[in-house]
Chain A
Amino acid sequence: MAELHTAIQLEGIARTMRRETVELCYRSPAHKAHLGGCLSAIEILTALYTDVMNTGIGQTGEAWRRRDRFVLSKAHASLALYAALHQAGFLSDDEFALPVCGEDTLLFRQARRDLAHGMEISGGSLGMGMGYACGLALAQRRRGQDSRVFVLLGDGECNEGSVWESVAFAAYNRLTNLVAIVDANGLQLDGPIEKVLGGDNHAERWTSFGFDAIEAEGNDAAAVRDALLAARDSDSPRPRVVIARTAKGRGVSFAENHVEWHDNSLTDDLYRQAITELSDAAFETRGGDER
């Protein structure tokens, strides 16, 4: 079994992914992107694609079929997913340099199903990924495969009733090969979630449906990695959810916890400022501690 990454290593990878995500956001048409929800999810994706998932990269045949699967239900974080897929080897440097949107590209503001490049669903319509993940988990069980299925939801997305149909199904059917993750960044388009429909009591809700809930500091890469491993390897008869407490827009000062960066356009100046803040040099200057 491969050794786990150190906290420093994970933070370095996360920083690179954060930078690459900002670059993709700037490369989007009119420089417009869901920057906030992309940046909050970085450490979750870092952990999944380094130490948690058997991604199947480079495998074929049976080994490929036995890979773990990831469903990005909050598909507006797709630009962050592309950064993770680039790190994991699913997107080559050339593919990662393609335009965002348009013809002849693999990259879109909301990912399209492309299994070879590690994208399970065509996302964009919230509330469906959890159900799809349940179907995937059932399929793995029927095939006798020990593949795990990971699904990432937004906290605003949990307003959707369809999410809870699937949560009930997963719990009732004891889909223990399924790990759900909530990117609990506390903000949705119209404002803080407690001012829209409430629901910040994620652990209470999920456990009442029959899941085990593990809370984690979602922007602490090692902490969320450890929580995901605990969820993955638990021998509980209940499926698990990791409630990752994150900050929307994390790592970029003008975006962090600002509701208007749910989606917005990066000016040239803001782009340069973001890249500067995320540079290794700036990190060193801050004393080498992301926390």
Chain B
Amino acid sequence: MAEKVGTRLGPSTLLQPALPRGSGPAAMKREFRDRAELENYLRASFAYLASDPDGLSPIRGGRDSALKALAAVEPGRYERTRNHLDGAVSRLSMYIRHGVLTLPEAMRAALTKVRRPREAYKFVQELAWRDYWQRLYEHLGAGVWEDREESKTGIRAEELNADLPEEVLEGRSGLACMDAFVGELRATGYLHNHARMWFAAWVVHWLRVRWQAGARFYLEHLLDGDPASNNLSWQWVASTFSHKPYYFNRENLERYTSGRFCRNCARRNDCPFEGSYETLAERLFGPETVR
């Protein structure tokens, strides 16, 4: 049976003494001159990583980096601006994913930064999403890979493509926004939540690819990739874990990106996201769909 344990964690420097040296063929190195040496070592240690076309993320792992990110959190600005790609998002997810930071710890830190607890409401609610997904994971286990409910799009899973097209995986679709999202994801292992949603909606509803293929792509690259949060969010977009599909239009994407992608997009006059929500719903799902 599981037992409870306190998790007030100190700075990592408190834990520095008595680092094990490692011994035997299975022990891995702990000392590196720089990140380039670490990258080379990992490529040499794991055969399947030798030909990984992408390098390390510029986002560093470790509790020191996590505490810096936590210190920078601004709950009030987060609430007002988080949906914009330039908004004051926290970038704590990858540390929380691996337990480097805990949810209670992040909540306590946020509450020390506001005059009234209500100012941290949205930030705390977003932490609650992580708690929610993990509770569901307890129940579902590997079931997070299966449709939770029937799709509300009227399109059957058998009608969808099993795989993501190569040009999408390589950021060569010709859509400036989507190609930029793939580029950022592959270079950094991070993507703003709104970009994740737009990309997921494009993959599932426009390209008609099964959500599992997109979920797998995210899990390969996202530093915060977690099967529960990730797959159930894809299912929320696909409408197998929500009462209607999530989709967007160009106006929405332009608003929350300040139009940066559309300005020079090769397909700016032939944008698949152009149109009202009603027009797009009819085009994507047909006239009888749940909106």
Do A and B pair up? The answer is no
Residues of A within 8 A of B (CB): none
